[in-house]
């Protein structure tokens, strides 16, 4: 992406519109794989939206093209978030080599020095204060508008206070789950003799719908997807299925550091449609690697990372840059797809396994 397109992405980044930056840049990844600035913008935007897996992938590529303290600080924050304290420390030391007076690197090193693995460090991460270790952002306003960033800081402080009171960060989008409900005008929740894959009673349809809402509010998205898909594959009436699809829209792409409730390969392979849109974390090996202009595809030998037991072979695709080769052992995090009843996975994050 050159000229006007990149300048527009920079403007959005300065305006702190990180999701818009990601939407603008991600479709262009494979066309601009040699542009370091492109990957810096994309990686830092992922960092600020909490997508640490995406941030790691894009910033790693940026580092390969042109190393800088900004990229190293971003990667250090990712490493700290994932509990890779030694890696974070090494990255901060590299920053100090480039900029001996870098305050962010010094702060990160001091935090680890005071107690890596301590409750205080975990509290620091849980409160969202890891953002104080992100690379400094470009100026957004002139000095005469200083009041606006001051108010923003106060808003962040208030958010942290609310976090400590509520137990997790406020999320206005997730609160919308409660407003999705079954229409009171619908007299029937299930149809008889519909020929659907799953036959449910009206009581079971209602129970699955309410359970899906409850699980979403508990941030157990994967389990919620099971209940939603159960409704979508069932004899539930069209208005119910419409509301179920609306609930599915609240599901978020998880990160390795916070992911739970993964599905086992044997369960997913037995009924891919029931797990469609859910996420899995599987280990295995790469085979039949294919790299095209827009994506990387390969067959994943699930469970074969130590070449002991092959659970199955799943076609996978990823649409972000990664250095892969046949035979490499990986742990992938990805979304299940069940197009035409065939199992596939779209990889959202991955890391290489260091095996003996």
Better pLDDT: 300 or 15:
300
State the pLDDT at residue 346. 94
CB atoms within 10 A of CB 121: 17
State the pLDDT at residue 166. 42
**CA 204, CA 196: separation in Å to the nearest integer?**
15
State the pLDDT at residue 141. 44
Average pLDDT in the 76-87 region?
88
Q: What residue spans of the chain are helical by DSSP H? A: 4-14, 18-25, 36-49, 52-65, 69-81, 85-98, 103-115, 119-126, 147-166, 172-175, 202-217, 221-232, 238-248, 265-270
Q: Which of 224, 196, 342 is nearest to 272 (CA)?
A: 342
CB atoms within 10 A of CB 290: 10
Average pLDDT, the chain: 83
State the pLDDT at residue 57. 85
Average pLDDT in the 58-72 region?
89
Instruction: Give 163's pLDDT tier (boundaries 50, 70, 90).
Output: very low
* CB within 8 Å of 147: residues ≥ 6 apart: none
Would the pLDDT of 27 be above 80?
no
> Contact 164/135 with Cβ under 8 angstroms?
no
**Element of type H or E holding 285:** strand 279-291
Better pLDDT: 140 or 344:
344
Would the pLDDT of 202 be above 80?
yes
State the pLDDT at residue 317. 94
Q: Write b or e for each residue in 303-336: b if 16 or more Cβ atoms lie within 10 A of its Cβ, otherwise e.
A: bbbeeeeebbbbebbbebbbebeeeebbebbbbb
State the pLDDT at residue 278. 94
The label of the residue with tokens 């092959």 reads 310
**Element of type H or E holding 283:** strand 279-291
State the pLDDT at residue 114. 73
Average pLDDT in the 286-300 region?
92
Would the pLDDT of 296 be above 60?
yes
Backbone angles phi, psi at 190, to 5 degrees: -140, 150
**CA 272, CA 315: separation in Å to the nearest integer?**
13
Strand partners of residue 291: 296
Would the pLDDT of 102 be above 80?
yes
- 344-352/312-318 β-pairing: parallel
State the pLDDT at residue 336. 95
Average pLDDT in the 157-164 region?
46
Would the pLDDT of 24 be above 70?
yes
State the pLDDT at residue 263. 95
Would the pLDDT of 182 be above 60?
yes
State the pLDDT at residue 151. 52
Would the pLDDT of 75 be above 70?
yes
Average pLDDT in the 345-349 region?
92
Would the pLDDT of 156 be above 80?
no
State the pLDDT at residue 337. 93
Average pLDDT in the 310-335 region?
92
> Contact 138/106 with Cβ under 8 angstroms?
no
The token pair at 139 is 């100026």
Most confident of 2-11, 13-22, 256-265, 273-282: 273-282
Taking the C-alpha atoms of 228, 231, 237 and 239 in order, what is their torsion angle to the nearest 10 degrees?
Answer: 0
* CB within 8 Å of 35: residues ≥ 6 apart: 1, 6, 65
Instruction: Give 19's pLDDT tier (boundaries 50, 70, 90).
Output: confident
> Contact 28/1 with Cβ under 8 angstroms?
yes
Would the pLDDT of 46 be above 70?
yes
- In percent, the amount of the chain with pLDDT more than 90 equals 36
State the pLDDT at residue 117. 58
> Contact 215/224 with Cβ under 8 angstroms?
yes
> Contact 24/11 with Cβ under 8 angstroms?
no
Would the pLDDT of 161 be above 60?
no
Would the pLDDT of 168 be above 80?
no
């Amino acid at each position: 992406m050159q000229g006007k397109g990149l300048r527009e992405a920079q403007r959005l980044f300065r305006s702190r519109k990180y999701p818009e930056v990601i939407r603008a840049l991600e479709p262009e990844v494979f066309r601009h794989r040699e542009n370091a600035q492109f990957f810096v913008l994309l990686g830092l935007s992922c960092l600020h939206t909490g997508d640490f897996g995406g941030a790691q992938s894009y910033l790693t590529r940026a580092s390969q093209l042109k190393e800088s303290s900004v990229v190293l600080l971003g990667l250090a924050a990712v490493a700290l978030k994932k509990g890779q304290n030694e890696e974070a420390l090494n990255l901060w030391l590299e920053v100090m080599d480039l900029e001996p007076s870098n305050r962010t690197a010094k702060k990160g090193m001091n935090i680890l020095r005071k107690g890596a693995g301590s409750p205080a460090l975990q509290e620091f991460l849980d409160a969202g204060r890891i953002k104080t270790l992100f690379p400094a952002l470009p100026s957004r306003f002139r000095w005469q508008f200083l009041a606006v960033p001051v108010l923003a800081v106060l808003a962040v402080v208030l958010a942290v206070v609310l976090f400590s009171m509520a137990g997790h960060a406020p999320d206005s989008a997730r609160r919308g789950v409660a407003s999705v409900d079954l229409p009171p005008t619908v007299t029937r929740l299930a149809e008889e003799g519909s020929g659907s894959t799953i036959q449910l009673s009206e009581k079971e349809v209602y129970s699955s719908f309410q359970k899906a809402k409850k699980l979403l509010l508990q941030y157990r998205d994967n389990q919620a997807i099971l209940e939603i898909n159960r409704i979508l594959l069932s004899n539930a009436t069209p208005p119910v299925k419409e509301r179920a699809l609306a609930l599915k829209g609240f599901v978020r792409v998880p990160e390795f550091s916070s992911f739970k409730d993964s599905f086992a390969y044997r369960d997913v392979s037995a009924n891919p449609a029931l797990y469609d849109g859910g996420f899995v974390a599987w280990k295995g090996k790469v085979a039949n690697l294919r790299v095209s202009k827009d994506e990387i595809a390969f067959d994943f030998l699930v469970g074969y990372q130590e070449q002991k037991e092959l659970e199955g072979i799943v076609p996978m695709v990823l649409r972000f840059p990664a250095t892969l080769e046949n035979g490499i052992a990986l742990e992938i995090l990805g979304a299940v797809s069940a197009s035409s009843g065939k199992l596939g996975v779209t990889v959202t994050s991955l890391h290489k396994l260091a095996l003996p």
